[in-house]
Amino acid sequence: MASLETSVFVSVLIALILIFVDYLILPTLLVTVLPIVVFTGFIASAMAGSEGNNYRVGGIAGGVLAVLFFLVKFFTPPTLTFNLYGLDFNVFLMFEGFIYLILGFVVSLAIFMLLGAFGGMIAQELFGPDEKERDKQGNSKPLRN
């Protein structure tokens, strides 16, 4: 079983390869990013192994993907079909844009972490210990009177 850092790194690398293949090589399929994030959480949690909180590893992998997507989208300029002649220097407009920027980052981070944790829960249910083994481990402690 891999460590937390290794499993997150490998799963994010696999997700970036899948997104590259999806957008550049096979544009007709257009699988959205959301199933890829769930798959990333699944891979990260499956690689993390028998940790008690391995669904959180999927959430961490989803959060790393959210930060990477935010940085790429932040530095990519939009393609506008018109000129913005009416915009002047306005402090309130800049403040409003900054608030929307922070709010968009927080919402996207929450969505990606939840989807990654969902993939981690799927991996935990498939590869985790069974209920019988959990009961045996839980009842092994002696009771005190």
Q: Considering the domain boundaries, does residue 138 fall inside one?
A: no
Q: Using the 8-state DSSP alphabet, how is residue 2 labeled? A: -
Q: Considering the domain boundaries, does residue 120 fall inside one?
A: yes
Q: Considering the domain boundaries, does residue 144 fall inside one?
A: no
Q: Considering the domain boundaries, does residue 84 fall inside one?
A: yes
Taking only the tens place, the pLDDT of each residue in 84-100 is 666 677 788 788 888 99
Q: Considering the domain boundaries, does residue 143 fall inside one?
A: no
* CB 39, CB 18: distance < 8 Å: yes
Output the CA angle 87-106-64, nearest 5 degrees: 115
Taking only the tens place, the pLDDT of each residue in 15-49 is 999 888 887 877 666 667 888 999 999 999 988 87
**Total domain count for the chain?**
1
Tell me which residue range forms the domain holding 54: 4-130
Q: Considering the domain boundaries, does residue 137 fall inside one?
A: no
Q: Considering the domain boundaries, does residue 74 fall inside one?
A: yes
**What are residue 72's phi and psi, to 5 degrees?**
-65, -45
> The pTM is what?
0.78
Q: Considering the domain boundaries, does residue 49 fall inside one?
A: yes
